[in-house]
Amino acid sequence: MTKTATLLVNCPDKKGIVASIANFLLTHNANILHADQHQDAENNLFLMRVEWDMADFQLTESEFNEHFKLIAQEYAMTWKLKSNQIKPKVAIMVSQYDHCLADLLHRYKNGELDCEVSLVVSNHKITESLVNFYEIPFHFIEINKENKIEAEQRQFLLFDQFNIDLIILARYMQILSPDFVKRYPQKIINIHHSFLPAFIGAKPYHRAHERGVKLIGATSHYVTEALDEGPIIEQDIDRISHRDQVEDLVQKERDLERVVLSRAVRWHIENRILLYSNKTVIFD
């Protein structure tokens, strides 16, 4: 695999940003592989993703930070630098439904997700044998009304122990506490089994069937304190008819959930997502 670095930039829109970044990289012998940008005229924002080959690049990460901060200050940039040689450490949380978990583990073992799945945490033991098959640590933490705070504290200890960078809720059927969400800003990805903002919360299949909708969907989003209202990363839909019963909707939804969640996780791992104003920009 080619060793690359990726720079993500978010700042007020202004002339000269692209030229300044390109000249800086050229000065230090970078070979730019991909560059993409987006202007939001309404909010006067500029967003950019640049990826370059590190083979002949002359700066270390610390040197880059030192030299690039002058440009960042000039344009009031929020920015981050990522190397594809550092694989993000991932924790997957799941309850009883295993279809998203199975899909993620399969893609991970096939090399489609360039990360390290460090552990799986569940409040049920149903998926333990599946996780053991992939030789990934499985941790059962029971949750009820009386022990929720204690259970989350145990989860925090595990995430700290494994230095987790990303938490994936693969149909984890528990509402996270505000403390949980605050600890991991923009580091928790959820899959919701409806086309948000329609049918927020529980039993969207049943409500969609009762409403007689003709399209159903799945949504992957970052988790915020507001239930199912975090920045949307990916969505997809499938057409249904009056002949489809709730069970048919469930099966079609599960197929959508697998694909939508895996796309969102891959884009996050590949540093293709920039967030602003509760929205996301997904760079190709």
Across the range 267-275, mean pLDDT stands at: 96
More confident residue, 200 or 128: 128
Query: With bands split at pLDDT 50, 70 and 90, how would you rate the model's confidence at 200?
Result: low
> 162-185 pLDDT, tens per residue?
999 999 999 999 999 999 999 999
Query: With bands split at pLDDT 50, 70 and 90, how would you rate the model's confidence at 17?
Result: very high
Say what the alpha-carbon torsion angle 24, 28, 32, 38 is, to the nearest 10 degrees: -20
Instruction: Look at residue 246 in the predicted model and tell me its pLDDT.
Output: 75
Q: List, by residue range, all CATH 3.40.50.170 domains of the chain.
A: 89-282
Instruction: Look at residue 257 in the predicted model and tell me its pLDDT.
Output: 94
Instruction: Look at residue 177 in the predicted model and tell me its pLDDT.
Output: 95
Reported CATH class of domain 89-282 = alpha beta
CATH superfamily of 4-83: ACT domain (3.30.70.260)
- Rounded CA separation 58/234 (Å): 36
Instruction: Look at residue 202 in the predicted model and tell me its pLDDT.
Output: 65
Q: Which of 13, 228, 248, 255 is catalytic?
A: 228
Instruction: Look at residue 217 in the predicted model and tell me its pLDDT.
Output: 84
HEC readout, the chain: CCCEEEEEEEEECCCCHHHHHHHHHHHCCCEEEEEEEEEECCCCEEEEEEEEECCCCCCCHHHHHHHHHHHHHHCCCEEEEEECCCCCEEEEEECCCCHHHHHHHHHHHCCCCCCEEEEEEECCCCCHHHHHHCCCCEEECCCCCCCHHHHHHHHHHHHHHCCCCEEEECCCCCCCCHHHHHHCCCCEEEEECCCCCCCCCCCHHHHHHHHCCCEEEEEEEECCCCCCCCCEEEEEEEECCCCCCHHHHHHHHHHHHHHHHHHHHHHHHCCCEEEECCEEEECC
At 122, the amino acid letter reads: S
Instruction: Look at residue 250 in the predicted model and tell me its pLDDT.
Output: 75
Q: Out of 106-120, 135-149, 248-262, which region has the weakest mean confidence (pLDDT)?
A: 248-262
Q: Out of 16-20, 213-217, 259-263, which region has the weakest mean confidence (pLDDT)?
A: 213-217
Residues whose CB is less than 8 angstroms from the CB of residue 39 and which lie 6 or more positions away in sequence, other chains included: 13, 45, 46, 47
Q: List, by residue range, all CATH 3.30.70.260 domains of the chain.
A: 4-83
**Is the pLDDT assigned to residue 204 strictly greater than 80?**
no
To the query of whether residue 228 is one of the catalytic residues in this protein, the response is yes
pTM equals: 0.91
- Rounded CA separation 183/127 (Å): 26
The two tokens of residue 213 are 């909708």
Across the range 27-47, mean pLDDT stands at: 95
Query: With bands split at pLDDT 50, 70 and 90, how would you rate the model's confidence at 127?
Result: very high
Q: How many angstroms separate the Cα of 272 from the Cα of each of 47, 53, 103, 111, 179?
A: 11, 16, 21, 18, 27
Tracing tokens 């199975």 back to the chain, one arrives at 102
Tracing tokens 């590190």 back to the chain, one arrives at 54
Q: How many angstroms separate the Cα of 192 from the Cα of each of 70, 95, 127, 234, 262?
A: 41, 14, 19, 11, 13
R_g of the chain, CA atoms, integer Å: 21
Q: Is 271 left (phi over 0), alpha (psi -120 to 50) or beta?
A: left
